[in-house]
Chains A and B, each alone.
Chain A
Amino acid sequence: MNGINQEDTQRAIERVARESYGRLVAYLSVHTHDLASAEDALSNALVSALNHWPKDGVPQNPEAWLLTAARHSLIDAIRHQQVVTAGEPTLQLLKESSTETTLSTHFPDERLKLLFVCAHPAIDPEMHTPLMLQTVLGLDAARIAQAFLIAPKTMGQRLFRAKTKIRSGGIPFEIPQERDLPERLDAVLEAIYAAFGIGWDDMAGADQRGRDLAEEALWLVRVLLQLMPGEAEVQGLLALMLHCEARRGERRDAKGRYVPLSEQDPKQWSLPLIEEAEHYLAEAFKHARVGRFQLEAAIQSVHAERARTGRTDWAAIVLFYEQLLRISPALGTRAGYAAAVAEANGPEVGLAVLESIDPEAVSHYQPYWAVRAHLLQKLGRTAEASDAYDRAIGLAEDPVVREFLLQKRG
């Protein structure tokens, strides 16, 4: 076996792992509710693939091969009483399907159920995103810990606890009923958006505190759209992410310095991504069921218009924010609204909006101080502006944003 083929095999395993991980975990856990065992079984199967495929060649249906191997591993684990809660019927079920001589290429895709399990209201909301990243995408705890600024050991323990709760807490592996669907779907979308980690880049100098998982989040939302093609909010979230993604490269100049949205050259934004975003947003609006993510995408869409018209329609942005505030009066939304109002109607009006926010709530909230500093500076209230800049600088995590704000403070 030469080196090139080894590399090909390695790549084949990586590809099938990425594309099939969530499908296999979902399918292996849908009856047992035991995510940890399903993941262990799949990782055994992947190790086995690493041993066998370079010798025997990549099988014709790698996913089915992995499923068979994982299922054997799972049965072994149950036999060895490592999985104490899995009952006899489960074992029977697993055995039955594994003794089929030819495995069907198409096993049911249970990932949607898995996504709803990960974002179930009985699970700590902080753990929704980490669970999804691990069970659907196969990211390890250490990588997830980096993104969420948590010690790797702690993240491992929290994931373990969450999975124990799923296994023994009676959390159903099912798609929620019509009545609960909007709220439950919202939790799934929130969790995906949290992984994306880019929010309000219409506020100059707002620290993004990026999760560094944008690519994974985009993958997740595309999976979700594939599973729920008719959901307006799923389309809205994808549109929002694509708009943000279209501008990613332009957030830094050639020297790596921060470039606020207003100073970015719209000609450098990615037109294909903008067009794709617009396509999904238009599809979403056809349902005439406005929601939070569609409105956020609409705001980004107005910004994207600048590539065509050369100007920003702040009045339209203000209107979208007003609708958004009725649905989700989150701090970020209120700070973004204040920034937009300031652009449309002058800094004084914007500042008044900002000052209506409870000061207690914003003592740690960096974007508030960045917007406040910007507006006070525009109003010529230098001393107050300098104070607000200090707060925004002190709360910023990204050194590039910190540098930008230090320059602005003067």
Chain B
Amino acid sequence: MQFALMIYHTPEEFDMRKNDYSDPHLGAWRAYYKALVEAGVYVGANALEVPETGTTVRLREGKRRVQDGPYADTKEQLAGFIILELPSVDAALEWAARCPGASRGAVEVRPLAPEAMRRGFTG
């Protein structure tokens, strides 16, 4: 079964990314990625740009509402996600604990919706 590890960063973490995203920071992420691939659990992943680059769109009463910045007004913002193929949520929590994102921000673990439902989207 597949799980999403959603990585949330603090503003400080995003700042580091903009200014000085060098080793050992990057080294930890690279090592984590390698460990995921070698363990045969990696499905896919991607990182997002910093939250200020986001734009939020809503349609309300036929009118467009466009707003600068991310949807949620919280301190910790979504920074990226990883999709893993794992036997259980226990294993997913273990990988989340190893994720370099867990020691500063937070990592939310959530199962992907059942495949039948996802196939409903994609046809």
Contacts and interface: CB of A to CB of B under 8 A. Distances in A.
Given A364-B39, A394-B35, A395-B98, A402 B28 contact: yes
Contact of B24 (A390, A391, A396, A403): A403
A228 interface: no
Nearest to A393: B31
A397 interface: yes
A393 B32 contact: yes
Interface string A16-53: 00000000000000000000000000000000000000
Interface residues of B, number: 22
A409 B27 CA distance: 10
Q: Is the interface of B mostly helix, strand, loop or mixed?
A: helix
Nearest to A402: B28
Contact of B38 (A154, A363, A402, A407): A363
Contacts of A390: 30-31, 34-35
Nearest to B37: A394
Given A149-B97, A364-B39, A395-B98, A154 B89 contact: yes
A399 B40 CA distance: 23
A379 interface: no
A409 B32 CA distance: 14
Contact-residue size bin, chain A (C-beta under 8 Å from the other chain): 20 to 34
Contacts of A396: 98
Interface of A: 149-151, 154, 363-364, 389-397, 399, 402-403, 406-407, 409
Given A363-B39, A392-B31, A394-B34, 9 more contacts: A151-B89, A151-B93, A390-B30, A393-B31, A395-B98, A396-B98, A397-B97, A399-B103, A406-B31
9 contacts: A149-B94, A154-B89, A363-B39, A393-B32, A394-B31, A397-B97, A399-B103, A402-B100, A403-B24
Interface of B: 23-24, 27-28, 30-36, 38-40, 89-90, 93-94, 97-98, 100, 103
